[in-house]
């Protein structure tokens, strides 16, 4: 009888130990599951924070893009206004100078040219004859070369010395350096206004 009771107690003790082991295993699993849930919650919080930062970055970039677009529009409007003012100023200047203000005016003038080109040759021939006559007259009677004021002064200075005068003396009389007279003397010699013998210059 006593042995039976001992076996019963042993069986009850084993069941109690098994239940304790199961409860401990369940608690361990619960703790593991809880730790996993906590870890997932932490990851979710971190992802949410990162998403908030990204959203803030995108929002800031959108604001920057809007600002740049607005600045670009303002710059383009300002450039268009300045271009319009410049065109208006240029058009006013050309109109005051007697030139056509708009390109359409030049087109009208260009259209009028063919009409002038279709005129009777007899009408235009009369206007050409004086031109040809003047050209022939200029060929037969060449005009004397022009003399500058400085060359006139130099010519008068040399003309006052029929016996001949040196270039240094002429320069001293004119109050300048001899090197300044080089080109004027050369022109007068080429035009035959003066002549040179040795180092003296004579009026022609």
Per the model's pLDDT, the better-predicted residue between 152 and 125 turns out to be 152
pTM, entire model: 0.30
Calculate mean pLDDT across residues 109-135.
51
Residue 91: CB atoms within 10 Å? 14
Dihedral of alpha carbons 171, 175, 177, 182, sign: negative
pLDDT bucket at 137, cuts 50 / 70 / 90: very low
Distances (CA, A) of 27 to 20, 21, 101: 10, 10, 98
In tens, the pLDDT along 17-68 reads: 778 787 777 877 777 877 887 888 888 778 877 777 777 777 788 888 999 9
Calculate mean pLDDT across residues 153-169.
90
Cβ within 8 Å of residue 204, ≥6 positions away: 192, 193, 194, 195
CATH 3.40.50.2300 for domain 149-203, yes or no, is no
C-alpha span between 151 and 160 (Å, rounded)? 14
In tens, the pLDDT along 82-94 reads: 888 888 877 654 4
């Amino acid at each position: 009888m006593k042995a039976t009771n001992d076996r019963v107690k042993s069986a009850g003790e084993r069941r109690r130990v098994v239940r304790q082991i199961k409860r401990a295993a369940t608690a361990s699993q619960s703790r593991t599951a809880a730790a996993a849930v906590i870890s997932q919650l932490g990851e979710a919080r971190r992802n949410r924070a990162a998403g908030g930062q990204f959203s803030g970055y995108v929002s800031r970039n959108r604001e920057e893009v809007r600002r740049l677009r607005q600045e670009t529009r303002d710059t383009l409007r300002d450039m268009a206004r300045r271009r319009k003012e410049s065109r208006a100023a240029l058009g006013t200047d050309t109109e005051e100078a007697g030139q056509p203000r708009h390109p359409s005016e030049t087109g009208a003038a260009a259209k009028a040219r063919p009409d002038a080109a279709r005129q009777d040759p007899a009408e235009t021939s009369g206007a050409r004859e004086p031109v040809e006559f003047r050209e022939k007259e200029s060929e037969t009677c060449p005009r004397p070369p022009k003399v500058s004021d400085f060359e006139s002064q130099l010519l008068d200075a040399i003309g006052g010395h029929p016996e001949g005068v040196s270039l240094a003396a002429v320069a001293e009389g004119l109050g300048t350096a001899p090197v300044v007279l080089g080109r004027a003397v050369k022109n007068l010699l080429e035009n035959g206004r003066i002549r040179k013998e040795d180092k003296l210059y004579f009026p022609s």
